[in-house]
Structure 1
Amino acid sequence: MDDEFPPYGNESDLVRIGGLEIENRLDRLVLTGDLVLSRDRAGLALARELHALLGRAIATLESDPGLPERIEVLPARVVPNPFA
C-alpha cells in the first residue's frame, strides 16, 4: 500500500489492499471489493496495511476541529452523454 495516500486529501487517489479498493474523496472514503485476511503471513501483511490506512483516516478525522456530526451524501445522478 502507498503510505502517501492522504485520507480525505483529494478526489483522485485510489489504493488497493488485496481485492479491496479504497477511493479517496474530500468528504469520505469509499471501500469496495473483498479482502480476505487469511491466518498466515500474507493475511497478516494485508491486515497491517488496512490497519495503517484506517489509523491515518482516524487521525485525520480526530484532528479536524470543525468535524460535522454528519454530512449529506447526495445520490448519484445520471447526466446526458456529451459525446453522443
Structure 2
Amino acid sequence: MPTRKGERPFEPFADDAAVRTIGALSFENGTDRIALHGSLDLSRDKAGLERARALRRTADAIVRALEAIELPEAVAEAHEAPKTVPNPFA
C-alpha cells in the first residue's frame, strides 16, 4: 500500500498488533478481522482532503487483501473469557 511521507505501512490482516489512526478513527489490525473505532471528520479543506485520501488508501489496502485470497463464508466468532492481568501501576 503506498503511504504518505511519515505514514507507517499498514498491512491488513498481517498481525494482531498494528494500528492505523486517521484523525480519531483507528483501524486495529488482526489476522481474522480489522476493528474500526472512533470517528473521523472530513472537513471541506486541504486537511480534510488529506484525511479522506488516507482513509481511501487504508480501505483500498483492506479490499485488495481480501480480494487476493480465497475467503470462507464467515470467520468464527472468538468468545474468550476476559483475562485478569496484574495492575501495572500497583
TM-score (ref. length: structure 2): 0.81
Cα deviations by residue, 1:6-60 (Å, 9 ceiling, x for unpaired): 0011011011101101100001111101100111111110000010011010000
Structure 1 residue 79: Cα displacement: 2.5
Aligned to 1:20: 25
Aligned residues: 82
Q: 1-side partners of 2:52 and 2:84: how far apart? A: 41
The answer to which of 72-81 and 41-50 deviates more is 72-81
Q: CA deviation at 1:76?
A: 4.6
Task: Work out the CA distance in 1 between the residues paired with 2:13 and 2:84.
Answer: 29
1:32 is matched with which residue?
37
Amino acid at match of 1:39: R
Percent identical? 33
Partner of 1:47: helix, strand, or coil? helix
Q: 4+ residue stretches of structure 1 with deviation over 3 A?
A: none
3-state SS of paired residue (1:57): helix
- TM-score when normalising by structure 1: 0.86
Q: Does 1:71 align with 2:71?
A: no
Q: Which runs of 5+ in 1 are unaligned?
A: none
User: What is the DSSP-based 3-state SS (H/G/I as helix, E as strand, rest coil) of the residue aligned with 2:49?
Assistant: helix
